[in-house]
Structure 1
Amino acid sequence: MEQKYDIAQVLAWYIDSGVDTTCGDVCCLKNQNTPTPKPEMPSIKNRPAVTNLSQTTNEACKNARDLCLKANSLSELRSMVENFEGCSLKLTAKSTVFGAGNEQADIMLIGEAPGADEDRLGSPFVGKSGHLLDKILNCISVKREDVYITNILPWRPPGNRTPTDAEIAVCLPFLRRQIELVKPKILLLLGASAANAVLDNNEPISRLRGRWLEYTTSSKETILTLATFHPAFLLRNSAQKAKTWADFLRVLKKLKEN
């Protein structure tokens, strides 16, 4: 015979007995002392290994140098840079911005790093700085198509921050190989970062600009080199445009002499 229960009486009995939930297969009693589980301590063997940053940078630099030795053309070098995984900047950049222009140019211009516009379009000097550079070149009767333009870094640093020494060191072999493949008569370094990286010094651009220097390739060939202000700097400091104009005229004069 089936028994019928008064639901209200059953619930009242549960409450009197200390039951505080109707969920689950096991009764939970208010007065029952349930031991608090001890927190599980993470196993030491599961902790990630600490990466030696300097060692990683050194390995990346070596990998970059080894790759560059295999590049016999700018197109081969471009492909190597696009597939290179040794620089963290590539993870945050939208594009790999390789050099562009005349691959047999007499003049090679080198800037610091791609900006937001360059990163978006994948070409060097296409933003406001690039437009100013085009105007300066036009004033000395030189077209962008006549020169080769690149940067010391092929990837944009997040927020246009200044690149670190490690980032520059990893990318520098690719730049040096570009110089060797283009074989320009004159290098024009735009800004302190480019000048310091290429010439391997820490002098301020105000002291470097305006005087002829020399860059030595891995094959011991020397290239006439001149440093000047970066177009981005000129957009903020128009008073320095006259000095930059004079530097570009020096390049044109030297090119005609040679």
Structure 2
Amino acid sequence: MNQTIAREDIESLLRWYVDQGIDEAIGEEAIDRFAAPPPQAAPLPVQPPAPAAPTPIRPLPAAPTPLRGPVPIESPQLVEDARALAQRCNSVEELEAAVRAFEGCALKRTAKNTVFADGVVGSPVMIVGEAPGADEDRLGKPFVGVSGQLMDRMFDAIGMSRERDLYITNILFWRPPGNRTPTLAEQAVCMAFTRRHIELAKPKVLVLAGGTAAKSVLDTTEGIMRLRGKWTNLALDDGSTVPTLPTFHPAYLLRTPASKRQSWSDLLSLDKKLRELGIR
């Protein structure tokens, strides 16, 4: 039965695709899923198996040679390699160069850009989000899409901006395909750099935007609903600690505007903490 699809329905479907992170096609040609399947060839006659020949006695194999080439992404050795590489960096500039040269995360192969950071190094507040989106991947900077614009307006409401008071990054430096949630292996590899990033940036206060960033940085299984708005001290590998505030990700606020009240409470708590530290 032929049925004409209204233009509004097609546009609504395309908008839904974009909202779900489906913003690019994989194949060059569309697949007609309603077409009849091609006729199948007749099955070949089954031949009886030939009698098995006696197994000859063979010497034991020699010890395997060391693997060469890229290590599988699931290998824990990649995390150790990333951690050792990060610890050798003595400045944010050196760390950025190391991240851009690192080939141990498979996400780098599908991303357009390495998204390292934005804002002012040495700012009193460092914001750590989850991962770059489509706009961030295209422009090479974190939080520049619609959610980033909302975040700028939120911090502007308490008199702060990324041009003066903020240093912004993500726990991942490359966009996951379709904006999917990063795997634990991807998070573990990038977190080796992120923890060193926090040490070198030396913020007075750390803000974790979203559940994935909060759970990964704080090494906890608690969700963002329980974590947000609660101050904690993050212990770093160099022996220092930094006051840390988990809060909702701006993308979540776009989907759930009613939660903006809680985020505003978090911003007021951040402003109060900065005044207690004598920064404002």
Q: Same fold (TM over 0.5)?
A: yes
Within 5 Å, which residues of 2 pair with 1:123-202?
123-145=141-163, 146-202=165-221
Letter of the 2:122 counterpart: Q
Counterpart for residue 77 of structure 2: 59
Asked if 1:72 is matched to 2:90, the reply is: yes
Moved more, 118-127 or 204-213: 204-213
Counterpart for residue 221 of structure 1: 240
State the 1:53 CA deviation: 4.9
Asked if 1:244 is matched to 2:269, the reply is: no
Structure 1: distance between partners of 2:96 and 2:157: 31
Letter of the 1:104 counterpart: G
Q: Which has the higher helix share?
A: 1
State the 1:59 CA deviation: 1.6
Q: Output the aligned Cα RMSD.
A: 1.5
Counterpart for residue 93 of structure 1: 111
Structure 1: distance between partners of 2:87 and 2:152: 33
State the 1:52 CA deviation: 8.5
Counterpart for residue 40 of structure 2: none
Structure 2: distance between partners of 1:59 and 1:136: 40
State the 1:102 CA deviation: 1.3
State the 1:57 CA deviation: 2.7
Letter of the 2:121 counterpart: E
Structure 1: distance between partners of 2:183 and 2:78: 14
Structure 2 length-normalised TM: 0.72
Structure showing greater Rg: 1
Residues 71 and 104 of structure 2 are in contact (CA less than 8 Å); yes or no, is this contact kept in structure 1? no
The aligned length equals 208
State the 1:155 CA deviation: 0.2
Structure 2: distance between partners of 1:130 and 1:201: 25
Asked if 1:232 is matched to 2:251, the reply is: yes
For the residue of structure 2 that corresponds to 1:255, the secondary structure is: helix
Structure 2: distance between partners of 1:152 and 1:52: 21
Of residues 84, 87, 91, the one that matches 2:102 is 84
Asked if 1:106 is matched to 2:99, the reply is: no
Residues 215 and 224 of structure 1 are in contact (CA less than 8 Å); yes or no, is this contact kept in structure 2? yes
Structure 2: distance between partners of 1:88 and 1:224: 32
Structure 1: distance between partners of 2:257 and 2:160: 22
Give runs of ≥4 in structure 1 deviating > 3 Å: 51-54
Residues 57 and 170 of structure 1 are in contact (CA less than 8 Å); yes or no, is this contact kept in structure 2? no
Cα deviations across residues 148-192 of structure 1 (Å, max 9, x unaligned)? 000000000000000000000000011011100111111100000
Letter of the 1:245 counterpart: W
Letter of the 1:164 counterpart: T
